[in-house]
Amino acid sequence: MTTMTMAKALNAGLRRAMGAEPKVLLAGEDIGKLGGVFRVTEGLQAEFGPDRVIDSPLAEAGIVGTAVGLALRGYRPVVEIQFDGFVYPAFDQLVSQASRLRFRTAGKLGVPLVVRIPYGGGIGAIEHHSESPETYFAHTPGLKVVTPASPSDAYWMIQQAIAADDPVVFLEPKRRYHDKGEVDLDQQSAELSLFSARVVKPGTEATLLCYGPMVRTCLEAAMVAEQEGRSLEVVDLRSLSPVDDAVVLASVRRTGRAVVVHEAARTLGLGAELAARIQEQCFYELDAPVLRVTGYDLPYPPSRVEDGYLPDLDRVLDAVDRSLRW
C-alpha cells in the first residue's frame, strides 16, 4: 500500500491508463508543461509527449467538441475543465452531442469520453471557481456522472471511467485533492464497479447519504455522534448517475432514517431525487422523513463567507438529531 494524496492518485491512475492503452489522450488548459492548476497531470506530458498530453486553447466548447470527434474516431480522450464554473460553455457539446449519440445511432456509436471537472467549494476561490454542477449532468440521459471521495477510489475510478464506452463526467472534489489515503498500486483490478455505492461506515440508527467532498464531513459527524452514543451509517454514493439504489435502499431499510448531504443547492438537487426514491421504496420501513443538508438556493458566495454556505459538521449533526427525535 502506498500513501498518497487524491491528486497524486489521479495522476497515477491516468499514467496507468495511458500506459495500457495508446488511444488514451489528455487535453485541457495548461495540463501539459504546467501539469494543470492542481498538478493532477504533472509529469505526464514529459513522459508521453505533447501529442498525447495536449495544452489546449482557452475554449471549453472547442475542447469538448474536439474530444467528441476524437472519441468517434476510436480514441479515448480525457479532457480537463480547469474549474467547475468554466464547464458551461461546453454544456451544449455534452448535452446535445456526446450524451445523445448512442441513442441517436440506435446503439451503433459510442462516445468513450471522460470530462474531468474539479468541483465544489472550500478553497477560498473567486467567482466561477467554486460550483456544484452535478445535477445538470445527472439529469441528462446518456451521461454517466461519478465522483471519488478517497485517493484509492480516485485511482481506480478514473481508470474505469476511461475504459467505459460512453461519456463520463468525472467530478473531482477540489478541496480533497490534498487529503491522503492508502492506494494499492499493485492491485490488478478495482474492488467495486464504477457505478457502485459503498458503505464506508456501518451503523444502526440513521443513514448519512453523501458523495465527493461531503463524505469526509459525514464521517467526522458519525465519529462525533459515536462519542455521544449514537450509531450512524455513512454511504458514499460514488456514482450520481446511475445511483446504486440497491446499496442506498438496503442501508435505509436497516436504519429506518436517512439524511442526504451535498454542497449543491437544495431545490432539485440530488437529495430531492434520493428522498423521492427512498419514500417510494422504503415508506413502511421509515421511522422519520428523509432530511436534507445542502447548500442554499443562491450562487456560491464570496470566499470570506463560504463557510456559512457549505454544509458542515454542526448542520449534519443537527439534522441527525431532528431525525432521531421524530
Residues marked active site are found at 129
Residue reference for cell 504546467: 34
DSSP string, 258-298: EEEEEEEESTTSHHHHHHHHHHHHHGGG-SS--EEEEE-SS
Considering only CA atoms, which of 289, 224, 282, 225 is closest in space to residue 259? 289
DSSP character string of 6-27: HHHHHHHHHHHHHHH-TTEEEE
Torsion of CA 229, 230, 233, 234, to 10 degrees: -90
- Residue holding cell 456501518? 202
Looking from the CA of 149 toward its CB, the CA atoms found within 13 Å total 23
Burial class (CB in 10 A: 0-12, 13-18, 19+), 18: buried
Which residue is associated with the grid cell 446504486? Answer: 244
Stretch (H or E) spanning 314? helix 313-325
Work out the end-to-end distance of the chain between its first and last CA atoms, rounded to an integer number of angstroms: 44
Instruction: Tell me how far apart the alpha carbons of residues 248 and 307 are, in angstroms, rounded to a whole number.
Output: 28
Within 52-116, where are the H helices?
Answer: 60-72, 91-92, 101-104
